[in-house]
Amino acid sequence: MRASFISTSVFCLVFALSGCGGGGSSGGSGNAGSNPPPVPAPPPSPPPGGGADPFGLNARPSLASFTLPTQGSGAASFDLVNAFPNLRFDTALYAAGVPGENRLVVVEQNGRILAFEDSPTVTSARTLLDISGRVLSGGESGLLGLAFDPDFQQNRYVYMHYSLDAPLRSVIARMTWNESADLIQPASEKTILVIDQPFTNHNGGMLTFGPDGHLYIGMGDGGSGGDPNNLAQNTTTLLGKMLRIDVHPLNPNDPYDVPADNPFVNDSAVDSRIYAIGLRNPFRFSFDRQTGDLWLGDVGQTQREEINIIEAGNNYGWRVREGNLPFDDSQNTLPLSAFTSPVIDYGRSEGIAVIGGYVYRGSQFGALFGRYLYTDFLGGSIWALAWDGSQVVSNDVIVSTTQNFTSFGEKNNGELLLVGQGGTLFDLQPSGGGGGQIPTLLSQTGIFTDLVNLTPASGLIEYEPSQPFWSDGVDKRRWVGVPDNEQVDFTALDWSFPEGTVTVKHFEVDLNANDASSTRRLETRVFLHTSQGWQGFTYRWNQAQTDATLLASRETETLNITRANGSVVSQTYEYPSRVDCLGCHTEQAGFVLGLETRQLNTNFDYAGVIDNQLRSLNNISWFDRDIGTADQYGQFPALDDVAASTEDKARAYLDINCSQCHRPNSTAPTNLDLRAETALASMNAVDVMPQAGTLGLQDARIIAVGDKSRSVLWLRMQQLDGNRMPPLSTHVVDEAGVEIIGTWIDGL
């Protein structure tokens, strides 16, 4: 999966495995593994005068009322509710009903399977199996799938798909769930199939029984990016395929039989276990329990996500095709007619890693009956697709959300759950329609009382981080507003914000570096904490610079910029979609970026009064407690801070620009941890071989000790193609960032 699981080349999240590397265990080289976390630079000196210095903020102004949808976007027909408020799971990947019981199971990537009563009041879950000690977990590896035998109530057989290391391999195995002990017994394991893996990503993960009683197994293309060995089209390997086997062989000592009606049993050029060809990473698929159709979400590379109906013997095109677009036909000998087109595909403005779901056959929501529900790992939307057997009749967004989902789950009665990456299981609930519509124009939001001068409404406090996130060199201003009588939960690292909080970020650029009057307003982004979670909106300024219009999807334009030396460069500028916002504003990073202790422990000019921002905010009781003096907390140094060490600046840069995705259980399908407080030995990067491609480097490492030229992390920062990191909404290399990271790596 690109995202803790899903693909390569999508983005800091999930663009990942094109990501900064991924996979493998951390191993030191030289002294790299023993270095402690960097000691933060001291905060800037306060204004002269000590305790008598004036504060930048003396009173907390009341927050104005905005015409923004605090109860959700108003675009969804359904809301999400926590199905089991007392339960939360670690690295949850899949959920399903237990046949014949009023219980559900949850599969955790770390190697555990848990069961619990299907009741919203349930308070605990029982651990049925824990093989975390031997499963290779992290990135796109781990305990990835579970299926119940069609005769489970008689034989108690469960089948699972998990990853092992040394060598890398995917294992399909059967174990017995002992009814009296209510445990799945590892000692009962029977290995069904073992498939060697060249890389740690693109392992597929789903397995399920079809209405024919045979086991279907979805296998990814083996990983890296772009299927470098063209395995999905290689009919002698099981990678990049849908497999179909009979796990009830005539000889019970055999692991399985090959069904006699498999499509390639009489073709010596094709492995007989193959049911369909040309898949990239079929992470989730399912059978329509009424029609028997096999629906599959295949995660794309950099352009398209696709939904397919899988039929025997078909070739779904990867890597020749990506969705309905060409990808790489350099080794292709087949005509275009040989490939089956997807039912539907979509691009990067709508998501980055499709999560296939189910055709709804429950009884609770008549309007959804017969529709295929699917979502995207990045969150943003849940779709309901209507299919008449030959074409898509409609494809409606029924939920808008900020959740990252790893799977749907189907209960015994056909009702559906959604599995959140954060460990929460969600039910669908008809929307009350609250919140109204998102204003079409920035002027209609009430955020600014004067658009000409960008005068913020009451309660919006301007702030500035010590080291801004790289945004292609454009200038930014930022404001934040917290509802009256609410406070911000403070820690020495990150903060948590109450519902109703709004943050605003404004972008502009000087089209001529020598002409101050050439400033061009580009966009203003609004990030709002609603009852349905955080939602982001982008307003693009018009050519007259009088107002900004809400964008429905991602847009780009070309800016011609005159530099100080008189040269003119053409720069692509990208305006993000609502989904794009959640690519960086991840749940694991607390959604809000920049507003944190180490970023605001620096001075700001409050209309002529220079004060430390932590000190000023604390003075107006903005935090949930008195945080004391600012000098007891760390600070991220600016890249041009000559007093700060190279290590501190480099680690801060990686934290600010990369760690929202590259941290434990976040959206990137790697196990990198680029937070500044993480010790070098725990980053899973230093002297670790990349699993998502070497970019042509010899003896490549994610971070090669003392040698930036062999470090894919450093090289990706300089790319402007699908290997770019960070990959979203950036088309200009951050030269200062490249220099500081390169200098730091060379000095390790």
In Å, how far from its chain's centre is CA 307?
A: 19
If you search the block for the tokens 């397995």, which residue do you land on? 207
pLDDT at 32 over 60: no
Q: What is the dihedral of CA 680, 681, 682, 687, to 10 degrees?
A: 90
pLDDT at 477 over 60: yes
**What pLDDT is attached to residue 24?**
34
Exposed, middle or buried by CB within 10 Å (0-12, 13-18, 19+), for 736?
middle
**What pLDDT is attached to residue 28?**
35
Q: Give residues with Cβ within 8 angstroms of 315, minimum separation 6.
A: 233, 276, 277, 278, 334, 338, 339, 340
Q: Lowest mean pLDDT: which of 368-372, 444-448, 486-490?
A: 368-372
pLDDT at 49 over 50: no
Number of other CB atoms surrounding residue 290 within 10 Å = 12
Q: Lowest mean pLDDT: which of 195-209, 670-684, 723-737?
A: 723-737
Q: Cis before residue 726, ω within 30 degrees of 0?
A: yes
Mean of pLDDT over the chain: 89
Q: Mind listing the pLDDT tens digit for each residue in 77-122?
A: 788 999 999 999 999 999 999 999 999 999 999 999 999 999 999 9
pLDDT at 748 over 80: yes
Is residue 418 within 8 Å of 408, Cβ to Cβ? yes
Q: Give residues with Cβ within 8 angstroms of 453, minimum separation 6.
A: none
**What pLDDT is attached to residue 580?**
75
**What pLDDT is attached to residue 184?**
98
State the number of CA atoms in the 13 A half-sphere of 72 facing the CB. Answer: 22
Q: Mind listing the pLDDT tens digit for each residue in 558-610?
A: 999 999 999 999 999 999 877 677 778 877 888 899 999 999 999 999 999 99
| Cα gap 242→278, rounded to integer Å | 9
**What pLDDT is attached to residue 401?**
82
Q: Cis before residue 85, ω within 30 degrees of 0?
A: no
**Structure-token pair, residue 510:** 């000087």
Q: Which domains does the chain have, with CATH numbers?
A: 1-41+645-694+702-748 (no CATH), 78-430 (2.120.10.30)
| Cα gap 628→177, rounded to integer Å | 55
Give the residue, 223 or 12, on which the prediction is more confident. Answer: 223
Question: Residue 635's pLDDT band (boundaries 50, 70, 90)?
Answer: very high
State the number of CA atoms in the 13 A half-sphere of 131 facing the CB. Answer: 24
Specify the DSSP element, H or E, that contains 741.
Answer: helix 735-746
Q: Mind listing the pLDDT tens digit for each residue in 274-305?
A: 999 999 999 999 999 989 999 999 999 999 99
Helix, strand, coil percent values for the chain (each to nearest 5)? 10, 35, 55
Specify the DSSP element, H or E, that contains 615.
Answer: helix 613-619
**What pLDDT is attached to residue 30?**
35
**Structure-token pair, residue 227:** 């299927």
Specify the DSSP class assigned to residue 83: S
pLDDT at 50 over 60: no
- CA dist 721 → 303, 323, 724 (Å): 12, 19, 6
DSSP 137-187: -BTTBSEEEEEE-TTHHHH-EEEEEEEETTTTEEEEEEEEEETTTTEEEEE
Q: Lowest mean pLDDT: which of 147-161, 373-387, 499-513, 734-748?
A: 373-387
| Cα gap 511→734, rounded to integer Å | 18
**What pLDDT is attached to residue 41?**
45
Specify the DSSP element, H or E, that contains 406.
Answer: strand 405-410
pLDDT at 379 over 80: no
Per-residue pLDDT, averaged over 316-343, amounts to 97
pLDDT at 431 over 90: no
Specify the DSSP element, H or E, that contains 743.
Answer: helix 735-746
pLDDT at 22 over 80: no
Is residue 281 within 8 Å of 239, Cβ to Cβ? no
Per-residue pLDDT, averaged over 463-473, amounts to 95
pLDDT at 9 over 80: no
Q: Give residues with Cβ within 8 angstroms of 747, minimum separation 6.
A: 646, 647, 706
**What pLDDT is attached to residue 51?**
52
**What pLDDT is attached to residue 437?**
67
| Cα gap 638→615, rounded to integer Å | 19
pLDDT at 176 over 70: yes
In Å, how far from its chain's centre is CA 617?
A: 32
- Angle at Cα 139 formed by Cα 134 and Cα 144, nearest 5°? 60
**Structure-token pair, residue 434:** 């609250």
**What pLDDT is attached to residue 131?**
98
DSSP 669-726: SS-----TTS-GGGSS-BTPPPSS--TT-TT-BSB-TT-GGGBHHHHHTT--STT-SS
- CA dist 261 → 309, 340, 573, 670 (Å): 19, 21, 53, 39
Specify the DSSP class assigned to residue 32: G
